[in-house]
Structure 1
Amino acid sequence: MLAYISSFAAVGFAVRCYQLAILKRNIFENLGGHALSVSAFTGLGYYLYHADERQRGMIEDKKQQLLRMRARETRLADGQAASVASEGSHH
């Protein structure tokens, strides 16, 4: 988690430096702007990390649900095949 959020903070710092470079201003002018940019991107990284975790959990739950449904359908199909086979052997 720390690496994920730190990378977003680094991107925030780079974006601020790039913004100042485009404006042809001193890159280290107004360090409060850097702090604000880093904070905003850190918050975004934190949110996206937890959103990713929630989505992975939801996908895993859906996968387990689908596997249970497949197992149930397989049991039903095997039961029907066995009943058809037993009916065919009696005639």
Structure 2
Amino acid sequence: MGILSNVLGFATFGLAARFGQLGIQKRNLFSNPGGHIIAMGAFGFAGYWAHKWDIRAAEIIAEKKSLLEERRRKQITQAEALGSQQLAEAE
């Protein structure tokens, strides 16, 4: 998912939350547009942060995956070496 769609989606959710808040209070939805901008900005920043975290989490997972694969390769080569050594001793 792109950063723009993530930020706009969160900002839209912030606007909807603001409208919901004003609706519960039974206030005019368009009386204070500054509050809408603040809510959209705050939720948009949360969307930006969520996008950056998603990218960083994918990098961390890829690093851990490569470490695990490397360890498994080492264990397999050690086991093969030990097995061939035991076969040579048995003969």
Normalised-by-shorter TM-score class: over 0.9
**Residue number in structure 1 paired with 2:89:** 87
Q: Which runs of 4+ in 1 moved over 4 A?
A: none
Identity of aligned residues (%): 34
Cα deviation per residue 1:40-75 (whole Å; 9 max; x = unaligned)?
Answer: 000111111101111110111000000000001000
- Could you tell me which runs of 5 or more consecutive residues in structure 2 were left unpaired when the two chains were aligned: none
**Residue number in structure 2 paired with 1:57:** 59
In 1, Cα distance between equivalents of 2:50 and 2:64: 21
**Residue number in structure 1 paired with 2:79:** 77
Q: TM-score, normalised by structure 1?
A: 0.94
In 1, Cα distance between equivalents of 2:85 and 2:67: 27
Q: How does 1:35-50 map to 2 (within 5 A)?
A: 35-50=37-52
**Given residue 6 of structure 2, which amino acid in structure 1 is its aligned partner?**
Y
Q: TM-score, normalised by structure 2?
A: 0.94
- Could you tell me which runs of 5 or more consecutive residues in structure 1 were left unpaired when the two chains were aligned: none
RMSD of the TM alignment (CA)? 0.7
Count of residues in Structure 1 that have an aligned counterpart in Structure 2 = 89
